Amino acid sequence: METIYSVTGMTCQHCVNAVTEELRGLDGVSGVRVDLPTGSVTVTSVRPLDPAAVRAAVDEAGYAVAA
């Protein structure tokens, strides 16, 4: 299953790497694709993810999921 999130605050490849690393650490995540220019993050997972867990992971990386 794929879910697309809008993440604010990313400006460089370091940002992409930080968000990708945190999201890949979530249980069930099998892939993460980040489109830096749009702030779009596509997360592939084996089951639906808890939105609070996704927000917490992105927050841990230093960014925010847009409302």
Domain residue spans in the chain? 2-65
The band of 57, judged by pLDDT with boundaries at 50, 70 and 90, is very high
Average pLDDT on 40-53 reads 97
Q: Is the pTM higher than 0.85?
A: yes
Buried residues in 2-25 as b, exposed as e (16+ CB within 10 A): eeebebeebeeeebbebbbebbee
Residue showing tokens 């960014």? 63
Q: Could you name the CATH architecture of 2-65? A: 2-Layer Sandwich (3.30)
Helices (H) and strands (E) in the chain — how many of each? 2, 4
- pLDDT per residue over 13-34, tens digit each? 999 999 999 999 999 999 999 9
Contact (CB, 8 A) for 16 and 10: yes
